[in-house]
Amino acid sequence: MLDWSVVFGRAVVAVLQFRYFAGATDKPMDFHCLGTAGYHPNRSRHTSCYCVPQCGLVLDAGTGLFRLTELIETDHLDILISHAHLDHIAGLTFLLDVLHCRSVAGRPVDQVRVFGEAAKLDAIQTHLFADLIFPAPLDVQWVPIDETPEFSAAGATVSWRRQPHPGGSVAYRLDWPAVASCQAKRLVYATDTSGLTDPQDIAWFGGDSDMAGGLPADSGVGAAASVPDLMVHECYFRDTHRQWAEKTGHSWTSRIAELAALIRPQRLLLTHINPLDESVDPVDSEKIRKTFYGELMIAQDGLKVSF
Ligand SMILES: [Zn+2]
Ligand SMILES: [Zn+2]
């Protein structure tokens, strides 16, 4: 028998997804790099912040967030926080100016939601927004994700996975449905992690779990839906500093080469770059190109990647 409440619920979700996604029906989505350094800014990089303006998505809120103002295309913002280390949250305090400038320009942002693990959101509100540190209230909705392995944000179905990192961090996977002439798209964002390499993790990203050793029959992961159209992954260290990567919960070049070969995304964007390394290729990317034949990019502030 038809459960009309389920049918109605799905129709509402479809309408909401169309509303959020309507601006991007006939063109690729644009992933903007607002801040691409880990830890602290340097002369050319601010700390972690990325956005997809067409759907109001912001990933992390490091110091690069001040660059968001001129890119906003929606009346809402959904900010997904990977964890509460300062290089991923300091820019939340810049939101007051971002929102003020939009209001003055006559294009206000009516709703801002900040998603993350409950303990991290609590720490941000208690410490970053303590009166003695930032004495102004922020008009946002704080949305804990702990009880919802899957939720809707920025017109996408979002799922997340815990990662190894001091204090813990989460990776996000966003799946946008096919709408009109625009194909379904998958974006994964994994930063501040030494890398998820178990077969279940590889399948979750959309890669080939068999190559990673296969899944147990009761894994519950199921068949991979699709490889990512864009995979954004940190690579803070070269192989020469692998011991520091493992000690601090970050990724190194050979770990990325291993992941890229298993997941095989269409495009791989390396982020959270070591701010002390200002060379053109801070991750020895040729080592990754030996096992990965997709499009490989090293993030820079101001870079836009269409997917
Ligand atoms: Zn970081
Ligand atoms: Zn961190």
Ligand nearest to the CA of 88: 1
Question: What pLDDT, on a 0 to 100 scale, did the predictor assign at position 7?
Answer: 45
| Ligand 1 centroid, distance to 23 Cα (angstroms) | 31
| Ligand 1 centroid, distance to 272 Cα (angstroms) | 7
Q: Is the pLDDT of residue 261 over 60?
A: yes
166 falls within a domain: yes
146 falls within a domain: yes
| Ligand 2 centroid, distance to 221 Cα (angstroms) | 27
Q: Which one-letter DSSP state was computed for residue 273?
A: B
| Ligand 1 centroid, distance to 235 Cα (angstroms) | 11
Question: What pLDDT, on a 0 to 100 scale, did the predictor assign at position 211?
Answer: 66
Tell me the residue range of the domain where 33 lies. Answer: 29-306
Question: What pLDDT, on a 0 to 100 scale, did the predictor assign at position 180?
Answer: 77
Ligand nearest to the CA of 249: 2
Compute the residue count for the chain: 307
Q: What is the CATH number of the domain that holds 148?
A: 3.60.15.10
Q: How far is CA 293 from CA 62, 71, 249, 285, in A?
A: 31, 31, 27, 12
Question: Over the stretch 34-68, which tens digit does the pLDDT of each residue have?
Answer: 999 999 999 999 999 999 999 999 999 999 999 99
ipTM: 0.99
106: Cβ contacts below 8 Å, ≥ 6 apart: none
Question: Over the stretch 204-242, which tens digit does the pLDDT of each residue have?
Answer: 999 876 666 666 545 444 444 589 999 999 999 999 999
Nearest to 79 by CA among 145, 13, 131: 145
Ligand nearest to the CA of 167: 2
Confidence of residue 99 (pLDDT cuts 50, 70, 90): very high
The whole-chain average pLDDT of the chain stands at 90
| Nearby residues for ligand 2 (ion, Cβ within 5 Å) | 85, 192
149 falls within a domain: yes
14 falls within a domain: no
Ligand nearest to the CA of 166: 2
For residue 213, report the phi and psi dihedrals to the nearest 5 degrees. 115, 0
Q: How far is CA 20 from CA 98, 140, 217, in A?
A: 21, 18, 37
Q: Is the pLDDT of residue 273 over 80?
A: yes
8 falls within a domain: no
| Ligand 2 centroid, distance to 167 Cα (angstroms) | 8
288 falls within a domain: yes
Question: What pLDDT, on a 0 to 100 scale, did the predictor assign at position 262?
Answer: 95
63 falls within a domain: yes
| Ligand 2 centroid, distance to 226 Cα (angstroms) | 28
Single-letter code of the amino acid located at 299: A
Total number of domains constituting the chain = 1
For residue 41, report the phi and psi dihedrals to the nearest 5 degrees. -70, 160
101 falls within a domain: yes
Ligand nearest to the CA of 83: 2
Nearest to 113 by CA among 84, 75, 148: 75
